[in-house]
Structure 1
Amino acid sequence: MFDTFRNAWKIPELRKKILYTLMVIVIFRLGCVITVPYINADALTLFASGTGNMLDYLNMMSGGALSQCAIFALGVGPYINASIIMQLLTVAIPALERLSKEGEDGRRKLTRITRYVGGGIALAMAIGYYLIIRNNYGAVAYTTGWQGWFAAVVIVLTFTAGAQFITWLGEQIDAKGIGNGVSLLIFAGIISRWSSVITAVKSLLTRAASGEPQIYAFLPLFLVLA
């Protein structure tokens, strides 16, 4: 493996692609630690407690950004959901099926539609996440009056823009870097939270052994991600 990497580094074009990919990953990790304005991240320590619940799983997928209410808290989830929805609709809606068969132009149009759908999903997820951190954790600085409305708009739009920016970063890796951009960003996020993955798996096993056998259903998902 090291010989392959060393040989690839000697080729100027591949070296540029590798450096560009690493730069994008660094930008992604920075966005995972910059907290959104008007949020007290210290109030969200429950997310990082390794309890093995769904919030902990989502936090792992976002590379820890969810627990810090970071700019990239939503991760690539909206884009992945939009891609799945569009694949299903392409089979169900004749107009979309025709677009998929129109060659490069049709694929570009489908990609553009997928971005819009992803933006809508990101907006819905951002609103839901805002309501969770405001009502359940009290992490929002302002919740009443015009200040509360302004803070809500800033938080929701920041989450939404962050999700769209991650999608754009993944596309840049596809075009100018090496590998599948979205997959690499997911991998970078999971690797950064590897200790949390182990903790979450141990917690799931403990809960399953203590009388919650349905928890075993989550284990294959964790193994696939690992």
Structure 2
Amino acid sequence: MKKLIENISNIWKVEELRKRLLITFSLILVFRIGSFIVLPGVDSSKLGTDGADAGTIEGLLGLLSGGGFTNASFLALGIMPYISASIIMQLMGMAVPAVQKMQQEGESGRKRINNYTRILTIIICAVQAPGYLSLYVAGKNAIPVEFINSPLWWTQSVLVLVAGAMFAVWLGERITDKGVGNGISLLITVGIIARLPQSFVAETAQHSFLIVIIEVVVFMLIVMATVLIVQGVRKIPMNYAKRVAGARGGAVDAQGARSYLPIKVNASGVMPIIFAQAIMTVPVMFIEKQFGIFGFWYNLVLFLLIIVFTYFYTAIMINPKKMADDMKRNGGFIPGVRPGDETASYIDELVSKITLPGSVFLAIIAIIPAIAVQFGVGDGFALFFGGTSLLIMVGVVLDTLQQIESYLLNRHYDGLMEGTKIRGRRTQGEMSGM
């Protein structure tokens, strides 16, 4: 513990890291305050509490927006429209030649793709905002009678929601550029974590102390398992011909340098769950009583969709042919496997094998909240036992800690994760071939 406290104190000794952390905290605070600023003209007293919506699709969206959705805040749409736009652009990169060309143009192409992503985000927000106002806010009778039939109020509210979503995107991008971690992911994570204390207090009020302790232990075990899967990689041994010319350009040392090709067990990350839940949102909105988020059929279909999307997104993320060509070009080879097509087939077969358990794990994580509810866990607290919220929290926290550790190591300080197996740097075995 003393070593950990000393390592944490080292953070403030690195001036650049200290400034970045202060900027990150400041922008996150702005986002959190914005989540409680209600849309003009909306009667917030009619919206109820987050706990009342815990077992509904509105509660899930409220969790991912940090409460802005259920508060009818001007940040109600949150970051999700931008994420949806980013996913669409990634898919277009597979099918649209013009987008593929931009992806190959380096920094200039990336900027153009970002601009198109923002434009697409505005379009998505413009479609989602009226639906949100009519289905959720008006459904809660939170719109005063004098505004129900007012085109001016509807127009201004839609514009405010669109502007709020773009403001959230701007905050996320500023955190990424000037702060620490991925800003978009951090905003979602902070919003999720902000709901945890409230859900935990509600849970302690419903159950005995012993039951709550058991639930917390189970929650920690699930988190540990998630960390192991998120960090898990299958290391493929590789050799590189290490050529050292003699003083007169004579002898060549043909001794190979050992390295590894790491293939993540969960290469697709949280995207399959986001894909599947985005699709499942549509039927739930119309037939929620028969198809609720804790219902059998909802979770069965969700389970199957996540497995399908995991294979689909892994195919986008990992290109065995390109990896084999890069290895061959750099003089690398897998022992016992011929370079070229045979190497590509070997990598493809290996990826297929490790993707199956990875996809099943993701699917199980996604339906754990429904299982937890069956064991008596409250709806609000159950959402933290799995699904998108848990994977986002674990992934973002690990990524942010690794970035902080990199700053500390570059300044010759011990990292936050010194002495653990979760590190932001490669092991000596992985670096030996570099």
TM-score past 0.5 threshold = yes
Alignment partner, residue 99 of structure 1: 102
Whether 1:224 aligns to 2:391 is yes
Give the SS at the match of 1:136: helix
Q: 2:61 aligns with which of 34, 58, 62?
A: 58
For residues 215 and 133 of structure 1, the distance between their equivalents in structure 2, rounded to whole angstroms, comes to 21
1:134, distance to aligned residue in structure 2 (A)? 5.0
Larger strand percent? 2
1:195 Cα deviation (Å)? 4.1
- Match for residue 206 of structure 1? none
3-state SS of paired residue (1:45): coil
Contact 2:176-2:183 within 8 A present in 1 as well: yes
Q: Greater helix share, 1 or 2? A: 1
- Decide which of 1, 9, 21 is 2:12's aligned counterpart: 9
1:40 aligns with 2:207: no
For residues 298 and 198 of structure 2, the distance between their equivalents in structure 1, rounded to whole angstroms, comes to: 17
Taking structure 1 as reference, are residues 103 and 67 closer, same or farther at Cα in structure 2, changes over 3 Å only?
same
Structure showing greater relative contact order (alpha-carbon pairs closer than 8 Å, 6 or more residues apart): 1
Partner of 2:83: 80
The percentage of counterpart residues that share the same residue type is 34
Q: 1:213 aligns with which of 288, 293, 296?
A: 296
**CA 1:157–1:69 in 2, change beyond 3 Å: closer, same or farther?**
same
Aligned to 1:139: 142
Equivalences for 1:115-194 in 2 at 5 Å? 115-141=118-144, 142-145=146-149, 148-194=150-196
- Alpha carbons 2:69, 2:77 under 8 Å: kept: yes
Return 29-38 or 211-220, whichever deviates more: 211-220
Distance 2:122 2:52 in 1: 30
Report the residue type matching 1:26 in the other structure: L
> Which residue type is aligned with residue 150 of structure 1?
L
Q: Equivalents in 2 of 1:79, 1:86: separation in Å? A: 11
> What are the ranges of 5 or more consecutive residues in structure 2 without an aligned counterpart?
207-293, 304-366, 369-385, 394-434
Could you tell me how far apart the structure 2 residues matched to 1:105 and 1:4 are? Answer: 39
Q: Which amino acid aligns with 1:165?
A: F
Query: Residue 38 of structure 1: SS of its match in structure 2?
Result: coil
Distance 1:50 1:132, change over 3 A: closer
TM-score by length of 1: 0.87
C-alpha displacement at 1:212, in angstroms?
3.8
* Change beyond 3 A, Cα 1:168–1:129: same
How far apart are 1:4 and its partner, in Å? 3.1
| Residues 60 and 197 in structure 1, CA contact (< 8 A), matched pair in contact too | no
**Offset, 1:157:** 0.9
Which structure: larger Rg? Answer: 2
CA deviations 1:28-64 (Å, max 9, x no partner) are 0010011110101111116541441111000111111
Contact 2:38 2:71 in 1 (8 A): yes
Q: CA deviation at 1:8?
A: 1.7
- Deviates further, 158-167 or 148-157: 148-157
